[in-house]
Structures are given as structure tokens and as C-alpha cells.
Amino acid sequence: MKQILVSLVVLVLVASVMPSALAVSQGVPITPNINTEDFPPQVWMCDGRVVFDDAVEYGRISRDGQELVERINNYAFEGEQIQWDILVMDKNGIEKVADVYGTVGDSQGEGNPIEVNCQRQYVRDGSDLPRSCNARILEERLHEFDADTMDAYTCTLTVETPESMYGEFWITVEAIDNDGLTGTMDENEFWFLNPIVALSIDGEMTFDDVRPGTDAYSETLLVGNDADAGSGVLLDMFITGTDFYDSSSSGAMCPITNQLSLGAFRYFVTNGAYSTADDLEINTAGSVTRDSDAEGYVNIEYGHGFNDPSPFYDNAEILQFPHVGPYYPGNILAPGAEMAITFKLSLPEPCNGDFDTGAIFFWGEAI
């Protein structure tokens, strides 16, 4: 019994001399190094990219503020508008995006001069993103609008005067954040702004010593589209004229007064595979009923200004063939292209005088 008690006393003594550190906890701190990515804004073009007509002069279809559906090449004139619907995203927070704007300049991509600020649009949080936005970050496709990281914008660029916008330009939309990081819409566009529209006429319309009561033919003239090279400007072509008079006091009479009627003139035109031999003779509002004679020569509508005194459409085209939609493809000239036109004068009998006052006009409207 004594031996047992002694053993217990020894154990108590051993426990009492153990180091006190075993009863106290210790901690070692580690500070993590966290660097948040400076996420550059992402810019996507969605559905709704359109071109609008201006109020200066409308065409066959579009009116002021309407979609310019007849424009098929890359040119635009003062007052016309290009508009994009844009989605912008910044994973650092959409409030970090400082500005969204359209740029116009000489180089593709970011850094061109800012021409227009974009207008922020309200989109309900959680709305489906249009598939046309193709909003992706690497392989991740974004499906819903997140108001914390996204905003929608409408960007409307109006073409200014030729003094500030003339020639070929790259046009796109950019976004910049508070750190100066930028994002650019992938779909850069290349436009010829305010191209010069001009016609060329090669040849003279001269009738010498025409016998009254007979037909006389001019040399063949070339009427061409002399717009800026590279502009792509397509011209819809028209012809009108006035009556003719003798500027001298010659006692002119043709056949009953001192006036040679425009109705004495006709013309024959060829353009590629088409000619007035196939003319459709469509006349909707003109003062002269359009018709083609046995030789394929067409009479001429009165007019001394574009669409004056009556509308030119379906009336005063140089060549009405074939009819595709509202246009006649045989009547359209690309830059550098030419039509060959021969005039016929059926001089009345009796007729006296040298009729040197009056005009036949050629018109080209950019479509």
C-alpha cells in the first residue's frame, strides 16, 4: 500500500515540473497579395445598325429620318446619319466607364478623333441579351443583362459638311474607363463622306444644214458618272429639256411660231446589255407621254431643274429597262461608267431659223 502511494506522489511531482508553454496558444499572421485585374471595357454592336436619310433631298423611297434602304455602297452625304445599338461591359463595375463615343479618322481601331457621344439607354436588369450582340469573353457567352457591369447605348453619327468631313474614313465606337483603358467595337466601317458627284459629257450635239421635213442624227455622246474615284457613288440617270429659240432677229418660224419644240428631239441610248430599243415606256406623272419609236428613239420630258416641274421617277429616266424594284438597273452608272447617247432631230416643215437658245439636261442622282 505504501508503494502505491509513493508512485502517485512521484507522478504529481513530474507533472508539476513540466514547461508552462504547453498551456499557451501562438499565431503566425500571413497577409495575402491580391491584385484585381484592370478590366478594359468591352464593346459589342447589337442589332439595330441603320443609315437614315436627311431632309435636304430625298430619293425614290426614303424620306427625312427614314431608313436609307437604297444606299448599297459605302458613301454618305451631309445630314445623313449612321446609328448603332451598343452594349458596353466592364467587370470592374459599369460606373468605371467614363465615356462611350463614336470616332472618325484615318486609321482602323482606337485613337481616332471623337465626333459624337453615345446616349445611354435603360435596359431592365436580367433581360436577355440579343444574340446579335455576340457578347463573349473568350469562350464565355453572356446571356443576361447585368446592370452592375453593363450598359446599353445608342450612337448616332450625323455626317457634317465637306469642310470637316470629306474623303475616306474609318468609323467605329469606343469606350474608355477612369483608368484610361479603352475598348473598341470590332465592326469598324469604312466610308467615303461627302463625295463629289459629277457628270461628264464627251461629244457635241450639233445639227448642221438640216433640211426641213427630214430627220438628222447627232454624233454619239458619252454621258458618264464622274464622281470621286473609290467613292462607289451610283447615279440614277435622267434627261429633260426645254423648247428652243433663235437668239437673232431672223424671222424664225418652225413650223408656226419662232419656237422649235422639244418634241422634235428623240434619243437612243445603250448601256451595257440594255438599250432604249427595250424601253418600258413608263410615264406616271410627266407632261409628255413617254414612247419609243420604231428605231428605239425615246422622246424627252420637259424640265429645267431636278424634279421640276414634275417628278422624274418613272418618267424621265434615260433608260427604263429592266424594272427591278423601284429602279431600272440599265439606268444606273457606277463611277467611271458611261452611256452612249445619239440624238435625232425631226425638223418640222416649214422651218426657218438657227435655234441656238434652249437646253437638254442630263441629271444624275446618287442612290
Give one DSSP letter per residue of 74-103, joined into a string: SEE-TT-EEEEEEEEE-TT-GGGEEEEEEE
State how far the Cα of 262 lies from the Cα of 253, in Å rounded to an integer. 15
Q: Which helix (H) or strand (E) holds 15?
A: helix 2-16
Residue 12 one-letter amino acid: V
Per-residue pLDDT of the chain (367 residues; tens, 9 = 90+): 444 444 444 444 444 445 555 557 778 888 888 877 789 999 999 987 999 999 887 788 888 889 999 999 999 999 999 999 999 999 999 999 999 999 999 999 999 999 999 999 989 898 999 889 999 998 889 999 999 999 999 999 999 999 999 999 999 999 999 999 999 999 999 999 999 999 999 999 999 999 999 999 999 999 999 999 999 999 999 999 999 999 988 889 999 999 999 999 999 999 999 999 999 999 988 889 999 999 999 999 999 988 877 789 999 999 999 999 999 999 999 999 999 999 999 999 999 999 999 999 999 999 9
3-state DSSP assignment of residue 241: strand
CATH T-level assignment (fold) for domain 42-193:
Immunoglobulin-like (2.60.40)
Residues near 295 by beta carbon (within 8 Å), at least 6 away in sequence: 268, 344
Instruction: Find the length of the chain.
Output: 367
Residue 157's closest CA among 63, 84, 75? 84
State how far the Cα of 261 lies from the Cα of 359, in Å rounded to an integer. 11
Residue 282's closest CA among 238, 237, 239, 319? 319
Residue 175's closest CA among 132, 120, 108, 138? 120
Pairing of strands 97-105, 167-177: antiparallel
Residue 154's closest CA among 81, 71, 91? 81
Instruction: Take residue 131 and report the three cell numbers written for it.
Output: 444574340
Instruction: Take residue 347 and report the three cell numbers written for it.
Output: 425638223
Write down the pLDDT at residue 296.
97
* Contact yes or no for 161/119 (Cβ under 8 A): no
Cβ count near 238 (within 10 Å): 21
Residue boundaries of the structural domains of the chain: 42-193, 199-366
80: left (phi over 0), alpha (psi -120 to 50) or beta: beta
Residue 153's closest CA among 185, 181, 182, 126? 185
Instruction: Take residue 346 and report the three cell numbers written for it.
Output: 425631226
Write down the pLDDT at residue 22.
54
Write down the pLDDT at residue 2.
42
Name the pTM for this structure.
0.84
State how far the Cα of 352 lies from the Cα of 313, in Å rounded to an integer. 36
3-state DSSP assignment of residue 232: coil
3-state DSSP assignment of residue 288: coil
Residue 308 one-letter amino acid: D
* Contact yes or no for 166/193 (Cβ under 8 A): yes
CA torsion 97-100-106-111 (nearest 10°) is: -10
